Structure 1
Amino acid sequence: MGKPDLPLAEWIVLALIAERPSHGFAIAALTAEGAEIGEFWYISRPMVYRSITRLVERELITPVGAEEGNRGPQRMIYAATRSAKMAVSRWLSEPVVQLFDVRAELTSKLLLLHRRDASPARLVERQRVVIDEIEESLAAKENAGNYLTRAIYAWRLEHVRAARRFLDAVAVDSTRPAVKTG
C-alpha cells in the first residue's frame, strides 16, 4: 500500500486511531475547539465521523468492538490496519512541500509526534531542506518585476524566514527536558 491521498482531517483522525483503538467520540474530544489537537487544528464532530466512515471505506481502519456510551447508543471502537499504521508513520516523517501547509499540516504532524513521544528531529531536518529550497527559489525572484511583485516576494520570503524560526524553536525545545506541571 502506498501513501493514501487523504485530506488533513482524515490524516489526523487516522493517526489518532493508529495510536490505539478508539471511538469517534474520543477522537472528537481531542479535536474539539480548545482541546489538545483542536486548539491548533479544529475538526468538528461531524467531520470526525465522516472521516471515520471514509477511512473504513478505504479499509484503513476496521471496527474491533463497541463500548457502552454514558448517554445514548454504543460507541463503535476502530483500530488502524497494519498498512495504515505504516502509512501514518511515513506521513508523519514527510515534510510539507508548500509553504502554506506549514501552519496546519506541519504543526499537526509535530503535535501527533509529540503525543507518540517521538522525536521531531528527522522531520524538522527534512523540513529545513524544503524551506531552504523555497527560500532559494523566492530569493532568485526577489528583485524581479514591478513594486507589487517585489513586495509579494518579500512577503513570501518573510513567511519562509518565520517558518525557519519556528523550526529552530521546535528543534531547541525538543532537546530540553519536559517541565512537569501540577
Structure 2
Amino acid sequence: AWAARRLRAARGRYAGRATGEAWRAGRYYAPHLRDHLLDRGVLVETLETATTWSNLERLHGVVGDALRSALDTRSLVACHVSHLYGSGASLYFTVLAGQDTAEPAAQWSRAKEAASRAIVDCAGTITHHHAVGRDHAAHLPSEVGTLGIDLLRGLKDRCDPVGVMNPGKLLL
C-alpha cells in the first residue's frame, strides 16, 4: 500500500510484475558477459548515485546525456533503480559502448568525469553504496562542502591517527 501511494504521488504507474521478474531472473547473468564483451571491443562499466524523488527523473536524464555525449560513439546507457527510500532512490547506470582500442581507460575516465560533474551539478550524491574512494574524491567537496570535509578529516584523524585504515581511499 505504501509503495502504491508513493507511485501515485510521483505520477508513476504500476506496470505489473513481468519486467521485475525478468530482471531478477537475469540479474546475475550480465556480469558474466562483461569479459566476453570487453574482449570483443565493447566498453562495459557501471556507476551509481542517489537523489530525492522529485529530482530522480531529471538526474536520470542529465547523467544519461552526459555519458552519451562524453563517449562520443554508439552507446547504450541503461539504468535501474537499485534501492528505494522514503525520500528518494538510487540510480544504477550500466554503460555499453564501442571501446576506444587505443585508450579504453581514458575513454571511461572521460565519461565517468562527465557523469560525476552532472551528478554533482544536478544535486545527486556522488556515490550511493560503493563509497567515495579515489574515483569520487575530487567531487566530494562539492557535495559536503568545506565543513563536511573538515568533519570527515577530524573523524578520520581521531579514529585512525596513524592512517592504517584503508589509506588514501576517503580523503586524499
TM-score (norm: length of structure 1): 0.28
Higher share in strand: 2
TM-score (norm: length of structure 2): 0.29
Higher share in helix: 1
